[in-house]
Amino acid sequence: MNLTLKIWRQKSNTDKGSLETYPISDVSEDMSFLEMLDVLNEELIEKAIDPVAFDHDCREGICGMCSLYINGEAHGPDRRVTTCQLHMRKFKDGDTIFIEPFRANAFPIIKDLVVDRSAFDRIQQSGGFVSVNTSGNTQDANSIPIPKDDADIAFDAATCIGCGACVASCKNSSAMLFVSAKVSQFSLLPQGQVEAKERVINMVNKMDEEGFGNCTNTGACEVECPKGISLDNISRMNREFISANIKK
Partner 1 sequence: MSKSTFYTSIGYKILMALSGLFLMVFLLQHLVINSLSVVSPESFNEASHFMGTNPLVQFLLQPVLIFGVVFHFIMGFFLDLRNRKSRTFNYAYNKPSANSSWPSRNMIISGITVLAFLAIHFIDFWIPEISTKYIAGDMSGLMNDGEFRYYHELHEKFNALPRVIAYVIAFVFLSLHLLHGFQSSFQSVGVSTNKTRSSFYKIGTIFAIVVPFGFITIALFHFLTQH
Residues that bind ligand SF4 (CB under 6 A): 160-166, 177-178, 181, 225-227, 229
Site string for ligand HEM, 216-235 (x = CB under 6 A): xx------------------
Is 214 an interacting residue with respect to ligand HEM (CB under 6 A)?
Answer: yes
The candidate with the shortest Cα–Cα distance to 185, out of 226, 232, 144, 122, is 232
User: With respect to ligand HEM, which residue has the nearer C-beta, 4 or 214?
Assistant: 214
Q: Which residues bind partner 1 (CB under 8 A)?
A: 6, 8, 19, 69, 71-73, 77, 98, 100, 103-106, 169, 171-174, 176, 204-205, 207-208, 211-220, 223-224, 230-232, 234-242, 245-246, 248
Alpha-carbon distance values, 243 to 118, 198, 207 (Å): 29, 11, 19
The only residue of 9, 59, 87, 90 in contact with ligand FES, by rule CB under 6 A: 59
Nearer to ligand HEM, 216 or 245 (CB): 216
Helices (H), 117-212: 118-125, 148-158, 165-169, 176-187, 190-193, 196-209
Element (H, E) at 98: strand 96-100
Q: 9 forms bridges with which residues in the sheet?
A: 18
**What is d(CA 69, CA 19) in angstroms, rounded to the nearest whole number?**
13
Nearest distance in Å: CB 239, ligand SF4? 18
Pick out residues in 43-102 that bind ligand HEM (CB under 6 A).
Answer: none
Sheet holding 3-9, edge to edge: 18-24, 3-9, 96-100, 69-70, 73-74
Q: How remote is the C-alpha of 7 from its chain's centroid?
A: 20
Partner from ligand FES, ligand HEM, partner 1, none binding residue 172, C-beta < 5-8 Å depending on class: partner 1
Quick one: what does residue 242 bind among partner 1, ligand HEM, ligand FES, none, with the CB cut-off 5 to 8 Å set by partner type?
partner 1
Residue 58: which of partner 1, ligand SF4, ligand FES, none does it interact with, CB under 5 to 8 A by kind? ligand FES
Asked if residue 32 lies in contact with residue 6, where contact means CB atoms within 8 angstroms, the answer is no
Find the part of the chain contacting ligand HEM (CB under 6 A) among 17-25, 94-102, 194-202, 212-220.
Answer: 212-220
Residue nearest to ligand HEM (CB): 216
Half-sphere exposure of 210 (CA within 13 A, CB side): 28
CB of 55 to ligand FES, least distance (A): 8
**Sign of the alpha-carbon dihedral angle for 69, 72, 73, 75:** negative
